[in-house]
């Protein structure tokens, strides 16, 4: 299946769910537990949907690292997706910390990088660089987002004050998605309330309101040990991830990375001679990192080996969402609604 086919499949799945949701005139079938959870989420400031999605994203990634690293079906799915999208590749950093081990992260990325290396060394990397499936975490989240929007529409039909008179306030992407649906949501009062409260919001609160939740982890230059120079030179683009990355780029000059190596996407795009040796060395460092977790291991890891799992993330998807295997075929890493109902908007 080619990139277009992947994109089409993903679109069909999302469109089917969205059309079903939009076409539903009967009361939504949202269950009571979900409605109660949602009501509770509206009792806190910020977008309740963004908060619940962030929670789901974290649980999914932690479960994956905790329980599914050695599950053959999960491994196969990750292999077919060529890893994860940019956002979820970097989210492995805090997810690994949350389960008290980056060994799981190293095992997952070592497999993907080893495949890339094998493809590269046989001249088949361009073919390998086409995912056969979307990012699995994105698929789970897209499904959860539609379910949450259905439930929110049901909640608003029952009690319209949830749109304007609760501590929680839907962000612009989620409010716009509801307005674009047949939920019959008018945004005038929502806009009024946001305009009233906006002067009291911090920069981050405004950004979250305009573009949606902050990614769980952002690989700011200098925070990760390896950075692709071409990634740093990429001009900012519209969209949630770039909006949140924004300020990091102003600081890139003062915060050099320990290692400057082209990410796979840029190396491929530039058509430079493939740095097979570099990639082989990184795969070797990662394998050493994984082996060192064995209790029988005696010896010391080099600095390169200790940082190998972080370097592997940078190598696979780059430090900006531009040329990763999933980013080059779609402009927004997460969720069909951003693309369907909301224009990319710049907040700065």
Give me the residues that bind Zn ion (CB under 5 A), please. 47, 49-50, 85, 88, 135, 137-138, 171, 174, 228, 230-231, 263, 266, 318
Query: Under 8 Å CB-to-CB from 250, ≥6 apart: which residues?
Result: none
For 184, the token pair is 């019959």
How far, in Å, are 126, 231, 260, 261, 333 from residue 265 at the CA level? 10, 9, 14, 11, 16
First to last CA, the chain: 39
What is the Cβ-side half-sphere exposure of residue 319, based on CA atoms within 13 angstroms?
28
Q: How far is the CB of 50 from Zn ion (least distance, A)?
A: 3
Q: How far is the CB of 254 from Zn ion (least distance, A)?
A: 20
Q: How far is the CB of 320 from Zn ion (least distance, A)?
A: 7
Using the minimum distance from each CB to Zn ion, give the nearer residue, 100 or 270.
270
Using the minimum distance from each CB to Zn ion, give the nearer residue, 288 or 316.
316
Q: How far is the CB of 264 from Zn ion (least distance, A)?
A: 8
Q: Which helix (H) or strand (E) holds 306?
A: helix 303-306
Using the minimum distance from each CB to Zn ion, give the nearer residue, 304 or 327.
327
Q: How far is the CB of 59 from Zn ion (least distance, A)?
A: 14
Q: How far is the CB of 209 from Zn ion (least distance, A)?
A: 8
Strand ranges inside 54-120, DSSP E:
none
Alpha carbons 237 and 164: distance in angstroms, whole number: 31
How far, in Å, are 199, 207, 217, 237 from residue 202 at the CA level? 8, 9, 19, 23
Strand ranges inside 116-275, DSSP E:
226-227, 259-260
Using the minimum distance from each CB to Zn ion, give the nearer residue, 49 or 93.
49
Residue 296 exposed, middle or buried by CB count within 10 Å (0-12, 13-18, 19+) = exposed
Among 52, 219, 268, which residue's Cα sits nearest to residue 148? 52
Using the minimum distance from each CB to Zn ion, give the nearer residue, 83 or 288.
83
Using the minimum distance from each CB to Zn ion, give the nearer residue, 28 or 320.
320
Q: How far is the CB of 285 from Zn ion (least distance, A)?
A: 19
Using the minimum distance from each CB to Zn ion, give the nearer residue, 178 or 263.
263
Alpha carbons 65 and 57: distance in angstroms, whole number: 12
């Amino acid at each position: 299946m080619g990139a277009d086919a992947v994109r089409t499949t993903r679109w069909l799945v999302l469109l089917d769910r969205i059309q079903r949701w939009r076409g539903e005139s009967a009361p939504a079938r949202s269950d009571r537990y979900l409605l109660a959870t949602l009501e509770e989420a509206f009792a806190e400031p910020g977008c309740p949907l963004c908060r619940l999605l962030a929670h789901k994203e974290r649980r999914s990634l932690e479960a994956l690292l905790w329980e599914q690293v050695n599950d053959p079906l999960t491994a196969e799915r990750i292999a077919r997706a060529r890893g994860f999208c940019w956002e979820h590749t970097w989210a492995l950093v805090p997810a690994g910390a949350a389960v008290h081990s980056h060994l799981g992260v190293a095992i997952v990325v070592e497999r993907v990088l080893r495949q890339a290396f094998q493809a590269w060394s046989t001249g088949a990397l361009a073919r390998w660089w086409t995912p056969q499936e979307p990012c699995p975490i994105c698929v789970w989240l897209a499904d959860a987002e539609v379910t949450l929007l259905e439930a929110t529409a049901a909640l608003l039909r029952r009690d319209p004050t949830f749109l304007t008179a609760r501590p929680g306030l839907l962000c612009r992407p989620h409010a716009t998605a509801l307005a674009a649906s047949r939920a019959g949501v008018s945004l005038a009062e929502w806009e009024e309330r946001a305009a009233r409260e906006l002067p009291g919001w911090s920069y981050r609160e405004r950004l979250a309101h305009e573009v949606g939740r902050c990614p769980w982890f952002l690989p700011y230059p200098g925070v990760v040990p390896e950075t692709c120079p071409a990634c740093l030179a990429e001009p900012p683009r519209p969209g949630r991830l770039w909006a949140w990355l924004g300020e990091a780029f102003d600081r890139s000059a003062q915060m050099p990375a320990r290692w400057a190596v082209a990410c796979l996407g840029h190396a491929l795009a530039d058509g430079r001679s493939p740095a097979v040796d570099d990639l082989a060395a990184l795969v070797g460092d990662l394998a050493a990192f994984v082996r060192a977790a064995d209790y029988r291991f005696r010896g010391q890891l080099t600095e390169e080996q200790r940082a190998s799992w972080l370097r592997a993330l940078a190598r696979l998807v780059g430090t900006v969402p531009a040329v990763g295997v999933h980013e080059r075929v779609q402009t927004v890493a997460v969720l069909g609604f951003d693309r369907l109902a909301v224009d990319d908007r710049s907040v700065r």
